[in-house]
A = this chain, B = another copy of it.
């Protein structure tokens, strides 16, 4: 249906090679010819067929990006950042979300393979990275996102989650809370594990402080609400006076449950800290104290690293970017921080 280089060549009275040159290296073509060809392109409404182009090239101009949860605004921000930086460099981003399913992760990676993506950005769900090794061995660079590479075998762009957990719980302890609950799971997610470790390290160094772990199956508002109800059902003795949730979605769910019941006040009875600083944390029932991660910058940086790896090929240097998380204090821990 659409015009091809051949038709453009015919229209302009030149060879297909010349049309291709006009498209890709106009500097080697005489000015007069460029004009002719451009006119023909215009006239026929020619649009490059990317499939043919990438068939020849051997790989596409797409990056594959896989996040843990496409409905988490944090990951949307990461995606946004990645997408922009990729576009600036003439690449597109194929976005997918594993959504807590190992199968989906597997399928999405298959898809990336079929598309011969030029690189993979991934926040892996699987802790076994062998599939990623294979992908890289096949010549496709891989960068871990929002997740470090302990053995530095992959380049990574992440945030120090242990430190994040530490800051969060230290804040709770500083406020005099001693009976802390960490809410989050599944533990197989490394980010969750690290945030928990940070939390534990603070508790270990604080007299009288105890930490209980309330497990969740997902990091969603729904699960948060479930945990909230669980907390409401506890008797006063065991009930925590400080909660650190593994992300803001959980925290908002918990908050919702507590506020709806009206039985427990935040932060008076329970102080609450989330993680990510998504936009909605600020406009929550009780504005949420949380740990900020530079989401868009993570996305941008990840693409930069990927571009460098793609450039370098075989002998690419692995880079480890670790951003430092920051505490954002709001009323879910300190009342009336904004009013007087």
- Of all chain B residues, the one with the shortest Cβ separation from A52 is B55
Contact indicator A253/B55 (Cβ below 8 Å) = no
Q: What 16 additional pairs, Cβ within 8 angstroms, besides A50-B115, A92-B94, A285-B286?
A: A2-B116, A45-B134, A48-B114, A49-B114, A50-B116, A51-B52, A51-B54, A51-B116, A70-B80, A71-B279, A92-B111, A256-B282, A260-B338, A260-B339, A284-B285, A285-B287
Q: For the complex, give the distance between the alpha carbons of A262 and B338 in Å.
A: 10
Residues of B within 8 A of A285 (CB): 283-287
Provide the bound-state CA to CA distance between A139 and B284, in Å: 47
**Chain B residues positioned under 8 Å from A256 (CB to CB):** 282-283
- For residue A335, CB closer than 8 A to chain B, the reply is no
Task: Assess A49 versus B339: contact at CB under 8 Å? Given A1-B138, A111-B92, A285-B287.
Answer: no
Interface size on A, residues (CB 8 A): 49
Chain A residues within CB distance 8 Å of chain B = 1-2, 45, 47-52, 54-55, 58, 60, 70-71, 73, 76-77, 79-80, 92, 94-95, 110-111, 113-116, 134, 138-139, 221, 252-253, 255-256, 260, 262, 279-280, 282-287, 338-339
Contact B70 A76 (CB under 8 A): yes
User: When chains A and B are docked, how far (Å) is the Cα of A260 from the Cα of B79?
Assistant: 30
Which residue of chain B has its CB nearest to the CB of A224?
B283
- Chain B residue numbers with a CB within 8 Å of A283 are 221, 252-253, 255-256, 280, 284-285
Given contacts A95-B95, A253-B283, A285-B283, contact A51 B47 (CB under 8 A): no
Provide the residues of chain B in CB contact with A260, threshold 8 Å: 338-339
Task: Enumerate 26 A-B pairs (CB-CB under 8 Å) in ascending A order.
Answer: A1-B138, A1-B139, A45-B134, A47-B110, A48-B114, A49-B116, A50-B51, A50-B116, A51-B51, A51-B60, A51-B115, A51-B116, A52-B55, A55-B55, A70-B80, A71-B73, A92-B94, A92-B111, A94-B94, A221-B279, A262-B339, A280-B280, A283-B284, A283-B285, A285-B286, A285-B287
**Closest residue to A140 on the B side, CB-wise?**
B1
